[in-house]
């Protein structure tokens, strides 16, 4: 009787498992020296950084991972963040189901442009070839504080060449 029950339980568990979906972003191999256990003081929001930070300035920036359907660049240590003050009705509106609320598709596009930044984890001037996703829990819509150097292009886009990341 006990043997039959154990066999039935084993078969039920096996049937329930089916094929496991394995994410291509399961594990980050970024070096641990990028991890900041505590957020550095003086973090500013992304919108404020767009207004005041110049190319080459040191920066401590705070935002939420998002801004597109896939804010993490596959195979590289780069991702985008969005200012925490930008209203994301994709998350707050519970009557409409949004499969990818981190893309901020419900936000004003002009606000999103001035309220987003690219984060690149670099070492010796090179962008690392490892995803940042899941680095100490870093994922979609997760608040993060990054420390590094600002890089501005001719269009005014903001990139942070990050030396440290503190997922919150």
Per-residue pLDDT reduced to its tens digit, 90-130: 776 656 668 899 999 888 888 999 999 999 999 998 999 99
Q: Domains of the chain, with CATH numbers?
A: 23-167 (2.40.50.200)
Buried b (16+ CB within 10 A) or exposed e, 116-135: bbbbbbbeeeeebebbbbbb
Alpha helices of the chain — where are they, by DSSP H? 2-17, 46-52, 89-92, 109-114
Q: Give per-residue pLDDT as tens, 35-86.
A: 999 999 999 999 999 999 999 999 999 999 999 999 999 999 999 999 999 9
The pTM score is 0.82
More confident residue, 51 or 12: 51
């Amino acid at each position: 009787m006990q043997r039959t029950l154990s066999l039935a339980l084993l078969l039920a568990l096996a049937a329930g498992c089916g094929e496991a979906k394995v994410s291509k972003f399961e594990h980050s191999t970024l070096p641990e020296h990028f991890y900041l256990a505590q957020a550095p003081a003086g973090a500013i929001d992304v919108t404020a950084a767009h207004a005041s930070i110049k190319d080459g300035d040191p920066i401590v920036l705070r935002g939420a991972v998002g801004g597109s359907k896939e804010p993490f660049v596959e195979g590289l240590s780069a991702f985008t963040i969005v200012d925490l003050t930008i209203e994301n009705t994709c998350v707050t509106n519970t009557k409409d189901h949004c499969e990818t609320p981190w893309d901020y598709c419900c936000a004003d596009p002009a606000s999103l442009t001035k309220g987003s930044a690219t984060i690149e984890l670099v070492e010796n001037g090179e962008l690392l070839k490892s995803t940042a996703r899941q680095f100490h829990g870093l994922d979609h819509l997760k608040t993060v504080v990054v420390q590094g150097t600002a890089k501005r292009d001719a269009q005014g886009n903001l990139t942070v060449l990050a030396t440290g990341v503190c997922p919150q």
